[in-house]
Structure 1
Protein backbone atom coordinates (compact mmCIF):
# COMPACT_ATOMS: atom_id res chain seq x y z
CA UNK A 1 0.00 0.00 0.00
CA UNK A 2 1.41 3.41 -0.90
CA UNK A 3 1.86 6.26 1.53
CA UNK A 4 -0.52 9.19 1.53
CA UNK A 5 0.54 12.02 -0.78
CA UNK A 6 2.50 14.84 0.80
CA UNK A 7 2.21 18.41 -0.41
CA UNK A 8 5.22 20.35 -1.68
CA UNK A 9 7.01 22.41 0.99
CA UNK A 10 5.00 25.48 1.93
CA UNK A 11 1.74 24.20 0.45
CA UNK A 12 -1.18 22.35 2.00
CA UNK A 13 -2.69 19.26 0.45
CA UNK A 14 -6.13 20.85 0.80
CA UNK A 15 -4.93 23.78 -1.32
CA UNK A 16 -3.67 21.37 -3.96
CA UNK A 17 -7.04 19.64 -4.14
CA UNK A 18 -8.87 23.00 -4.29
CA UNK A 19 -6.69 24.08 -7.23
CA UNK A 20 -7.46 20.79 -9.00
CA UNK A 21 -11.19 21.26 -8.39
CA UNK A 22 -10.89 24.79 -9.80
CA UNK A 23 -9.09 23.50 -12.88
CA UNK A 24 -11.74 20.81 -13.34
CA UNK A 25 -14.56 23.36 -13.02
CA UNK A 26 -12.95 25.63 -15.61
CA UNK A 27 -12.37 22.66 -17.92
CA UNK A 28 -16.02 21.62 -17.56
CA UNK A 29 -17.29 25.07 -18.50
CA UNK A 30 -14.99 25.07 -21.54
CA UNK A 31 -17.14 22.42 -23.25
CA UNK A 32 -20.25 24.60 -23.12
CA UNK A 33 -18.40 27.81 -23.99
CA UNK A 34 -16.72 25.98 -26.86
CA UNK A 35 -20.07 24.71 -28.13
CA UNK A 36 -21.59 28.20 -27.98
CA UNK A 37 -18.54 29.82 -29.58
CA UNK A 38 -18.29 27.24 -32.37
CA UNK A 39 -21.90 28.04 -33.33
CA UNK A 40 -21.03 31.72 -33.79
CA UNK A 41 -17.43 31.87 -34.98
CA UNK A 42 -14.86 30.08 -37.12
CA UNK A 43 -12.98 27.39 -35.12
CA UNK A 44 -9.60 28.45 -36.56
CA UNK A 45 -10.14 32.06 -35.56
CA UNK A 46 -11.33 31.05 -32.10
CA UNK A 47 -8.31 28.78 -31.62
CA UNK A 48 -5.91 31.51 -32.77
CA UNK A 49 -7.36 34.15 -30.44
CA UNK A 50 -7.59 31.68 -27.55
CA UNK A 51 -3.93 30.74 -27.72
CA UNK A 52 -2.75 34.26 -28.52
CA UNK A 53 -4.47 35.51 -25.36
CA UNK A 54 -3.23 32.54 -23.32
CA UNK A 55 0.33 32.92 -24.64
CA UNK A 56 0.47 36.63 -23.86
CA UNK A 57 -0.99 36.04 -20.39
CA UNK A 58 1.49 33.25 -19.59
CA UNK A 59 4.38 35.30 -20.98
CA UNK A 60 3.35 38.20 -18.73
CA UNK A 61 3.20 35.92 -15.68
CA UNK A 62 6.63 34.46 -16.53
CA UNK A 63 8.16 37.94 -16.87
CA UNK A 64 6.62 39.06 -13.56
CA UNK A 65 8.08 35.96 -11.87
CA UNK A 66 11.47 36.55 -13.45
CA UNK A 67 11.36 33.32 -15.46
CA UNK A 68 13.04 32.91 -18.82
CA UNK A 69 10.95 32.45 -21.95
CA UNK A 70 13.91 30.96 -23.83
CA UNK A 71 13.64 27.67 -25.61
CA UNK A 72 16.91 26.11 -26.65
CA UNK A 73 17.43 24.45 -30.01
CA UNK A 74 17.63 21.09 -28.21
CA UNK A 75 14.23 21.71 -26.54
CA UNK A 76 12.48 22.74 -29.76
CA UNK A 77 11.61 19.20 -31.02
CA UNK A 78 10.06 18.36 -27.64
CA UNK A 79 8.07 21.60 -27.58
CA UNK A 80 6.78 20.94 -31.11
CA UNK A 81 5.97 17.32 -30.24
CA UNK A 82 3.85 18.59 -27.34
CA UNK A 83 2.34 21.60 -29.14
CA UNK A 84 1.18 20.08 -32.40
CA UNK A 85 -0.93 17.18 -31.13
CA UNK A 86 -1.57 18.44 -27.60
CA UNK A 87 -2.59 21.99 -28.41
CA UNK A 88 -3.20 22.52 -32.11
CA UNK A 89 -4.85 19.23 -33.09
CA UNK A 90 -6.82 18.89 -29.84
CA UNK A 91 -8.21 22.42 -30.15
CA UNK A 92 -9.13 22.09 -33.79
CA UNK A 93 -10.78 18.69 -33.25
CA UNK A 94 -12.58 19.98 -30.17
CA UNK A 95 -13.94 23.16 -31.77
CA UNK A 96 -14.90 21.42 -35.00
CA UNK A 97 -16.73 18.73 -33.01
CA UNK A 98 -18.70 21.02 -30.72
CA UNK A 99 -20.16 22.69 -33.80
CA UNK A 100 -22.18 19.48 -34.26
CA UNK A 101 -22.64 18.04 -30.76
CA UNK A 102 -23.47 19.44 -27.34
CA UNK A 103 -20.87 20.34 -24.74
CA UNK A 104 -22.19 17.56 -22.52
CA UNK A 105 -21.78 14.90 -25.20
CA UNK A 106 -18.28 16.24 -26.00
CA UNK A 107 -17.37 15.98 -22.31
CA UNK A 108 -18.64 12.39 -22.14
CA UNK A 109 -16.56 11.42 -25.16
CA UNK A 110 -13.50 13.20 -23.78
CA UNK A 111 -13.96 11.34 -20.49
CA UNK A 112 -12.47 8.37 -22.32
CA UNK A 113 -9.06 10.07 -22.12
CA UNK A 114 -7.73 7.84 -19.32
CA UNK A 115 -8.35 4.75 -21.46
CA UNK A 116 -6.60 6.37 -24.42
CA UNK A 117 -3.66 7.39 -22.20
CA UNK A 118 -3.34 3.83 -20.92
CA UNK A 119 -3.54 2.32 -24.40
CA UNK A 120 -0.96 4.83 -25.69
CA UNK A 121 1.29 3.93 -22.77
CA UNK A 122 1.02 0.24 -23.64
CA UNK A 123 1.50 0.71 -27.39
CA UNK A 124 3.97 3.62 -27.57
CA UNK A 125 6.00 3.21 -24.39
CA UNK A 126 5.84 -0.55 -24.04
CA UNK A 127 4.33 -0.34 -20.56
CA UNK A 128 3.44 -3.76 -19.22
CA UNK A 129 -0.18 -4.59 -19.98
CA UNK A 130 -1.09 -6.11 -16.62
CA UNK A 131 -4.41 -7.73 -15.80
CA UNK A 132 -5.37 -4.79 -13.59
CA UNK A 133 -4.73 -2.32 -16.43
CA UNK A 134 -6.86 -4.32 -18.86
CA UNK A 135 -9.56 -4.69 -16.21
CA UNK A 136 -9.61 -0.91 -15.77
CA UNK A 137 -9.86 -0.36 -19.51
CA UNK A 138 -12.69 -2.87 -19.88
CA UNK A 139 -14.59 -1.44 -16.89
CA UNK A 140 -14.20 2.10 -18.21
CA UNK A 141 -15.47 1.12 -21.64
CA UNK A 142 -18.37 -0.80 -20.08
CA UNK A 143 -19.24 2.17 -17.83
CA UNK A 144 -19.10 4.50 -20.85
CA UNK A 145 -21.62 2.29 -22.64
CA UNK A 146 -24.14 2.65 -19.84
CA UNK A 147 -23.47 6.27 -18.87
CA UNK A 148 -23.64 7.91 -22.29
CA UNK A 149 -26.64 9.82 -23.64
CA UNK A 150 -26.99 7.05 -26.22
CA UNK A 151 -27.31 4.40 -23.47
CA UNK A 152 -31.07 4.68 -23.79
CA UNK A 153 -30.64 3.58 -27.41
CA UNK A 154 -29.99 -0.07 -26.71
CA UNK A 155 -29.18 -1.27 -30.21
CA UNK A 156 -27.16 0.13 -33.08
CA UNK A 157 -28.15 0.25 -35.83
CA UNK A 158 -31.87 0.29 -35.16
CA UNK A 159 -33.64 -2.91 -36.20
CA UNK A 160 -35.91 -1.00 -38.55
CA UNK A 161 -35.26 2.64 -39.32
CA UNK A 162 -38.93 3.28 -40.08
CA UNK A 163 -40.14 1.55 -36.90
CA UNK A 164 -37.72 3.28 -34.57
CA UNK A 165 -37.32 6.66 -36.23
CA UNK A 166 -38.77 8.69 -33.37
CA UNK A 167 -36.79 6.69 -30.80
CA UNK A 168 -33.51 7.39 -32.58
CA UNK A 169 -34.36 11.03 -33.15
CA UNK A 170 -34.72 11.34 -29.36
CA UNK A 171 -31.37 9.62 -28.84
CA UNK A 172 -29.52 11.78 -31.36
CA UNK A 173 -30.97 15.30 -31.03
CA UNK A 174 -30.21 17.62 -33.90
CA UNK A 175 -29.45 14.77 -36.30
CA UNK A 176 -31.83 13.93 -39.14
CA UNK A 177 -32.62 10.28 -38.56
CA UNK A 178 -35.85 10.18 -40.55
CA UNK A 179 -36.27 10.99 -44.22
Structure 2
Protein backbone atom coordinates (compact mmCIF):
# COMPACT_ATOMS: atom_id res chain seq x y z
CA UNK A 1 0.00 0.00 0.00
CA UNK A 2 1.23 3.48 -0.75
CA UNK A 3 1.56 6.17 1.90
CA UNK A 4 -1.43 8.03 0.42
CA UNK A 5 -3.58 4.90 0.73
CA UNK A 6 -2.48 4.36 4.33
CA UNK A 7 -3.26 7.99 5.21
CA UNK A 8 -6.64 7.75 3.53
CA UNK A 9 -7.45 4.54 5.41
CA UNK A 10 -6.31 6.02 8.75
CA UNK A 11 -8.52 9.10 8.15
CA UNK A 12 -11.52 6.92 7.31
CA UNK A 13 -11.03 4.84 10.47
CA UNK A 14 -10.34 7.74 12.85
CA UNK A 15 -13.82 7.76 14.42
CA UNK A 16 -14.13 3.94 14.65
CA UNK A 17 -14.04 2.37 18.13
CA UNK A 18 -12.77 -1.19 18.54
CA UNK A 19 -15.17 -3.94 19.61
CA UNK A 20 -15.13 -4.99 23.23
CA UNK A 21 -13.58 -8.38 23.88
CA UNK A 22 -16.94 -9.84 24.99
CA UNK A 23 -18.64 -8.97 21.67
CA UNK A 24 -16.07 -10.63 19.46
CA UNK A 25 -16.67 -13.94 17.76
CA UNK A 26 -13.34 -15.71 17.80
CA UNK A 27 -14.05 -17.96 14.85
CA UNK A 28 -16.98 -18.91 12.72
CA UNK A 29 -17.36 -22.59 11.90
CA UNK A 30 -20.01 -22.99 9.22
CA UNK A 31 -20.35 -26.75 9.76
CA UNK A 32 -20.78 -26.27 13.51
CA UNK A 33 -23.47 -23.62 12.96
CA UNK A 34 -25.33 -25.88 10.52
CA UNK A 35 -25.18 -28.80 12.98
CA UNK A 36 -26.42 -26.55 15.80
CA UNK A 37 -29.32 -25.31 13.64
CA UNK A 38 -30.27 -28.87 12.72
CA UNK A 39 -30.24 -29.92 16.39
CA UNK A 40 -32.45 -26.98 17.36
CA UNK A 41 -34.88 -27.72 14.52
CA UNK A 42 -35.00 -31.46 15.38
CA UNK A 43 -35.56 -30.68 19.07
CA UNK A 44 -38.36 -28.22 18.32
CA UNK A 45 -40.06 -30.73 16.00
CA UNK A 46 -39.74 -33.42 18.69
CA UNK A 47 -41.25 -31.11 21.33
CA UNK A 48 -44.12 -30.20 19.00
CA UNK A 49 -44.78 -33.90 18.31
CA UNK A 50 -44.71 -34.70 22.03
CA UNK A 51 -47.21 -31.95 22.81
CA UNK A 52 -49.70 -33.28 20.28
CA UNK A 53 -48.93 -36.98 20.97
CA UNK A 54 -47.73 -37.42 24.58
CA UNK A 55 -47.67 -41.21 24.18
CA UNK A 56 -44.68 -40.77 21.84
CA UNK A 57 -42.61 -38.91 24.44
CA UNK A 58 -39.14 -40.43 24.55
CA UNK A 59 -36.78 -40.58 27.46
CA UNK A 60 -33.46 -39.79 25.77
CA UNK A 61 -31.58 -40.61 28.97
CA UNK A 62 -32.70 -44.22 28.84
CA UNK A 63 -29.96 -46.29 27.27
CA UNK A 64 -30.57 -49.47 25.32
CA UNK A 65 -27.90 -51.86 24.22
CA UNK A 66 -27.25 -51.58 20.52
CA UNK A 67 -28.40 -54.33 18.21
CA UNK A 68 -26.41 -55.66 15.30
CA UNK A 69 -27.46 -56.15 11.70
CA UNK A 70 -28.36 -59.81 12.21
CA UNK A 71 -29.85 -59.55 15.72
CA UNK A 72 -33.56 -60.25 16.02
CA UNK A 73 -35.73 -57.73 17.82
CA UNK A 74 -38.27 -58.96 20.35
CA UNK A 75 -40.20 -57.00 22.95
CA UNK A 76 -43.48 -57.34 24.78
CA UNK A 77 -45.13 -55.63 27.70
CA UNK A 78 -46.42 -57.64 30.63
CA UNK A 79 -49.63 -59.50 29.90
CA UNK A 80 -49.21 -59.94 26.13
CA UNK A 81 -50.22 -63.46 25.22
CA UNK A 82 -47.66 -65.81 23.71
CA UNK A 83 -50.12 -66.44 20.85
CA UNK A 84 -49.94 -62.74 19.86
CA UNK A 85 -46.14 -62.73 19.99
CA UNK A 86 -46.01 -65.82 17.77
CA UNK A 87 -48.36 -64.11 15.30
CA UNK A 88 -45.93 -61.19 15.15
CA UNK A 89 -42.90 -63.45 14.65
CA UNK A 90 -44.56 -65.46 11.89
CA UNK A 91 -46.33 -62.56 10.19
CA UNK A 92 -49.73 -64.23 10.67
CA UNK A 93 -51.76 -61.04 10.43
CA UNK A 94 -52.91 -58.48 7.90
CA UNK A 95 -50.57 -55.47 7.87
CA UNK A 96 -52.74 -52.40 8.35
CA UNK A 97 -49.98 -49.85 7.70
CA UNK A 98 -46.39 -50.00 6.46
CA UNK A 99 -43.48 -47.59 6.73
CA UNK A 100 -40.22 -47.99 4.79
CA UNK A 101 -37.33 -46.00 6.28
CA UNK A 102 -34.74 -46.93 3.61
CA UNK A 103 -32.72 -43.97 2.36
CA UNK A 104 -33.51 -41.62 5.26
CA UNK A 105 -31.07 -40.06 7.66
CA UNK A 106 -31.49 -40.79 11.36
CA UNK A 107 -33.17 -37.40 11.90
CA UNK A 108 -35.56 -37.84 8.97
CA UNK A 109 -36.34 -41.40 10.03
CA UNK A 110 -37.16 -40.35 13.59
CA UNK A 111 -39.62 -37.74 12.37
CA UNK A 112 -41.25 -40.21 9.95
CA UNK A 113 -41.36 -42.92 12.58
CA UNK A 114 -43.02 -40.70 15.18
CA UNK A 115 -45.53 -39.39 12.65
CA UNK A 116 -46.30 -42.93 11.45
CA UNK A 117 -46.86 -44.21 15.00
CA UNK A 118 -49.02 -41.20 15.89
CA UNK A 119 -51.18 -41.76 12.78
CA UNK A 120 -51.50 -45.51 13.45
CA UNK A 121 -52.50 -44.86 17.06
CA UNK A 122 -55.00 -42.18 16.03
CA UNK A 123 -56.54 -44.56 13.49
CA UNK A 124 -56.68 -47.30 16.16
CA UNK A 125 -54.70 -49.72 14.01
CA UNK A 126 -53.54 -52.95 15.62
CA UNK A 127 -50.87 -54.56 13.37
CA UNK A 128 -48.29 -52.44 11.56
CA UNK A 129 -44.85 -53.03 10.03
CA UNK A 130 -41.75 -50.87 9.76
CA UNK A 131 -38.97 -51.68 7.31
CA UNK A 132 -35.72 -50.29 8.69
CA UNK A 133 -33.25 -52.30 6.64
CA UNK A 134 -30.32 -54.38 7.84
CA UNK A 135 -27.86 -51.53 8.00
CA UNK A 136 -25.44 -52.62 5.30
CA UNK A 137 -24.79 -48.98 4.40
CA UNK A 138 -24.29 -47.78 7.98
CA UNK A 139 -20.91 -46.19 8.57
CA UNK A 140 -20.38 -47.80 11.97
CA UNK A 141 -20.77 -51.40 13.13
CA UNK A 142 -24.39 -50.96 14.14
CA UNK A 143 -27.39 -50.34 11.86
CA UNK A 144 -28.55 -46.81 12.64
CA UNK A 145 -32.20 -47.07 11.57
CA UNK A 146 -32.70 -50.47 13.21
CA UNK A 147 -31.38 -49.16 16.53
CA UNK A 148 -33.46 -46.00 16.25
CA UNK A 149 -36.59 -48.07 15.55
CA UNK A 150 -35.84 -50.36 18.51
CA UNK A 151 -35.37 -47.39 20.84
CA UNK A 152 -38.48 -45.50 19.73
CA UNK A 153 -40.74 -48.56 19.84
CA UNK A 154 -39.59 -49.61 23.32
CA UNK A 155 -40.47 -46.18 24.69
CA UNK A 156 -43.85 -45.78 22.99
CA UNK A 157 -46.51 -46.83 25.51
CA UNK A 158 -49.15 -47.90 22.94
CA UNK A 159 -46.67 -50.38 21.43
CA UNK A 160 -47.37 -53.52 23.45
CA UNK A 161 -45.18 -55.90 21.44
CA UNK A 162 -42.88 -56.07 18.45
CA UNK A 163 -40.74 -58.66 16.76
CA UNK A 164 -38.40 -58.91 13.80
CA UNK A 165 -40.40 -60.04 10.80
CA UNK A 166 -40.38 -63.52 9.28
CA UNK A 167 -37.85 -64.02 6.46
CA UNK A 168 -40.62 -63.80 3.84
CA UNK A 169 -41.47 -60.29 5.13
CA UNK A 170 -37.96 -58.86 5.43
CA UNK A 171 -36.46 -60.84 8.32
CA UNK A 172 -34.19 -58.81 10.60
CA UNK A 173 -34.59 -55.80 8.27
CA UNK A 174 -38.22 -55.26 9.29
CA UNK A 175 -40.25 -55.27 12.48
CA UNK A 176 -43.86 -56.28 13.07
CA UNK A 177 -45.66 -54.23 15.71
CA UNK A 178 -48.72 -54.86 17.86
CA UNK A 179 -50.44 -51.72 19.12
CA UNK A 180 -52.75 -51.44 22.10
CA UNK A 181 -56.39 -51.86 21.07
TM category, shorter: under 0.3
Which one has more relative contact order, counting CA pairs under 8 Å at least 6 apart?
2
Counting strand residues as a fraction of each chain, which structure ranks higher? 2
